[in-house]
Structure 1
């Protein structure tokens, strides 16, 4: 949800006037901003203290490229970007819908029909990336926005091309521990099969309201991801075997995206028809609130 700008936030970036904060993390801050004519965008920036690091700047440029690869059907459409500015920034469409974690927090776990439709749509989104030899590497509920037309995958801060040299040292695990793949948790190569593992974790969260390996300290989570069995209590019975296969510790034992999508949903009907009324109401409320933020 939007919060007021801080005293040290910039007033403008590029041609955009900053209106409110949408979130902030270790790498940068995301703002609600308005452009010429009043168009509302989500504008992501890099913290000034790390903007001088060439490796971080390279990662930001890769994030911009990956956001363009996924396109506006499965991601937030890139409106403008300047990764070479003194303060690099990326402007995307302002998606009218809550993040998956917010939706589950406010409306409760999703019913089976919603989980199936969400999973199949996310398979298509990841396939769009993988066909361009890009892996996301940080798929989690807060990086999935729900709209009436389908989910959108965002935040490609640690995405990279399959086979590229990693931007972090060998043996370092980068990502979100609760939704990492075992190979990623061990600092090894995370390829397309790793995104399948993370996707299953996201769907377990959607169905139950909790991550498949629980919560706690990062070191504990990393250990459970690598060696413990996933907690699938509360997952609809028909989905348990499928999710268990996706959460296999060995990448080669996991299904391909096309196989997973076919077992989740046949693609019929509109995505909005599969969502609970409470989630649809939240999407509508956010659409109405965009212009109330001043």
Structure 2
């Protein structure tokens, strides 16, 4: 988008990113406040069914509130160029912070662990699933994580999957059952929480690099490299990265959400204690 271009009532200042959802720009609202305006993927504009589905989703997204999520402020999905407006989180992505300064330690890591858990609790409490939690979708603002692009990722990817026949997702962070074509549930977000926390603590993706097929195989077998994850976090991160969704903890049971035990958020995924070590399942053939 061009500088000074208008998207609805918002004046564009600069483009700040291009991703799976479309173009993202820093803009000003009518009161001069900074916001992030996301002009959604062209497939949304052409697909009336997807657009109606997204309109219902946005109504739910407006209910998500919390310091660790970039709340939805406005949207016009019926416009010629459908757009979504969220709170602007001024900072750097977790991926950039770790790349430049190394793994998080001590209080910095603890704030990330708890902030991401609170973000998932807010999202799941509204009946939504993020589906694409990863280091590039976490903005670090004064040491606190702010999760962006929540809620819409699932519906946008479903539309693109229908049109292109290509699976969408980030190897090593998207839960293996979603890669197998199953519906994303809150348990899938807990898997992504574990992978993102492991990255923050070690500076590397927990399932390694290389061809996507190799990464997927390690995920399905539960072969995460967690060396470097602090001892006190290790059991919970291991459980979160289980290839079996029912063996993962609920978001309400993660550090930072202790006061949610027994709530609707805690019930969003069945909380099963971390299982004893066992042989991983056989990989698909």
TM-score by length of 2: 0.78
> Are positions 1:241 and 2:244 aligned together?
no
Alpha-carbon distance in structure 1 between the residues aligned to 2:115 and 2:258: 9
* 1:137 to 2:137 alignment: no
Gaps of 5+ in 1: 161-165, 267-294
Q: Secondary structure at the match of 1:36?
A: coil
Q: Is the 8 A contact 1:139 1:195 kept in 2?
A: yes
Which position in structure 2 is the counterpart of 1:286? none
**Residue 134 of structure 1: SS of its match in structure 2?**
coil
- Which residue of 110, 135, 153 maps to 1:158? 153
The alpha carbon displacement at 1:254 in A equals 1.2
For residues 120-169 of structure 1, what are the alpha-carbon distances to aligned partners after superposition, in whole Å with 9 as ceiling and x for unaligned? 22212211222222111111111112223732211133246xxxxx6656
When structure 1 is superposed on structure 2, of 138-147 and 68-77 the one drifting more is 68-77
Residue from 181, 193, 205 that aligns with 2:187: 193
The residue aligned with 2:112 is: 118
Q: CA shift at 1:117, angstroms? A: 2.4
In the alignment, the residues of structure 1 paired with residue 41 and residue 184 of structure 2 have an alpha-carbon distance, to the nearest angstrom, of 27
Cα deviation code 1:11-61 (max 9, x no counterpart)? 211111111111112441001112334322111002446521235434643
Query: How do residues 1-294 of structure 1 correspond to structure 2 at under 5 angstroms?
Result: 11-48=5-42, 51-58=45-52, 60-61=54-55, 64-148=58-142, 150-156=144-150, 157-159=152-154, 173-261=167-255
Cα distance, 1:63–1:159 mapped onto 2, change above 3 Å: farther
Residues 227 and 203 of structure 1: CA distance in aligned 2, closer, same or farther (over 3 Å): same
CA contact (8 A) 1:200 1:247 kept: yes
Distance 1:49 1:186, change over 3 A: closer
1:275 corresponds in structure 2 to none
> SS at 2:232's partner residue?
helix
Q: In structure 2, the residue corresponding to 1:38 is in which secondary structure?
A: coil
Whole-angstrom CA distance in 2 between matches of 1:185 and 1:49: 21
C-alpha displacement of 1:219: 3.0
Give the aligned CA root-mean-square deviation in angstroms: 2.8
In the alignment of these two chains, the number of paired residues is: 253
Q: Secondary structure at the match of 2:36?
A: strand
Structure number with higher helix proportion = 1
Partner of 1:41: helix, strand, or coil? strand
Report 1 or 2 for greater relative contact order, CA contacts < 8 Å, sequence distance ≥ 6: 1
Q: Return 5+ residue gaps in structure 2 as ranges.
A: 260-285
Is the 2:61–2:126 contact (alpha carbons within 8 Å) kept by the matching residues of 1?
no
- The answer as to whether partners of 1:62 and 1:159 remain within 8 angstroms in 2 is no
Q: Is the 8 A contact 1:20 1:32 kept in 2?
A: yes
Distance 2:79 2:10 in 1: 14
TM-score, with structure 1 as normaliser: 0.76
- Separation in 1, partners of 2:225, 2:95: 18
